[in-house]
Amino acid sequence: QKEVEQNSGPLSVPEGAIASLNCTYSDRGSQSFFWYRQYSGKSPELIMSIYSNGDKEDGRFTAQLNKASQYVSLLIRDSQPSDSATYLCAVSLSGGYQKVTFGTGTKLQVIP
Amino acid sequence: KAGVTQTPRYLIKTRGQQVTLSCSPISGHRSVSWYQQTPGQGLQFLFEYFSETQRNKGNFPGRFSGRQFSNSRSEMNVSTLELGDSALYLCASSDTGVVDGYTFGSGTRLTVV
């Protein structure tokens, strides 16, 4: 079982729709959760971080965390063609484990 | 504020050679992590340094090593290069470690021929 799993996609959504990206993780000790966006040929950039169960909103982005189900998701409202990229879910343990494990990413295509 | 600087951007090396990659983190950041990115495996953790100490290491062979200097700049070395080492090597900078989230450099694209 992979430590962090994501559907590779591509996930295609029409412009203006809500894109829903999902991620599951295997280690129940995981404490910090991140979403990164990576455009083709570029390096990843941090979009959101979430540490507690529930929702966290930042503009058009909402991260959702459910530790009991070991599940984290990212919702993108009013999707734009510029959101087309690969979205990476990342998870880290606490307690001095300075290591972040990344999923292989979900490719999102927003169709104009 | 200057970003994370990685040099060189591109490298072509021959099997058996060694290579050194450099990373200068954001000013004030003390943690530097290194990742290898390949199309098949995604981002794989190599190691993390904080204040010149390696705090964690991934599952890579001993040919991969690193260090961090007192000014937080970090270097990564790969000895006896293999074709499979061809990848994008990314350096990630953060203030105290993983909780802050990372800022990545542009990466070094290594091709081993």
Closest CA to A88 of A28, A31, A25: A25
Residue A45 with chain B: CB contacts under 8 Å: 103-104
Beta-carbon neighbour count of residue A6 at 10 Å? 23
The mean pLDDT value of chain B amounts to 94
CA gap B92, B71 in Å, rounded: 16
Q: Which residue of A has its CA nearest to B39?
A: A104
Two tokens at A105?
């990413």
Q: What is the DSSP letter of A17?
A: S
State percent of chain B over pLDDT 90.
Answer: 87
User: In chain A, which among 73-112 make CB contacts under 8 A with chain B?
Assistant: 88, 92, 96-105
Q: What is the pLDDT of residue B99?
A: 72
How does pLDDT run across B57-85, given as a tens digit for each residue?
999 999 999 999 999 999 999 999 999 99
Q: Looking at A45-93, which runs of residues are DSSP E strands?
A: 45-50, 54-58, 61-66, 71-76, 85-93
Q: What is the pLDDT of residue A97?
A: 59
- Residue listed under structure tokens 């293999």: B82
CA distance B105 to chain A (A): 7
Q: What is the pLDDT of residue A65?
A: 97
Mean pLDDT of B28-56: 93
Sequential pLDDT tens for chain A (112 residues): 678 999 888 999 999 999 999 999 998 888 899 999 999 999 999 999 999 999 999 999 999 999 999 999 999 999 999 999 999 999 987 655 568 899 999 999 999 9
State percent of chain B over pLDDT 70.
Answer: 97
Q: What is the pLDDT of residue A67?
A: 95
CB burial of B74-91 (b: ≥16 within 10 Å; e: otherwise) equals bbbebeebeeebbbbbbb
Whether residue B100 has pLDDT greater than 90: no
Q: What is the pLDDT of residue A98?
A: 67
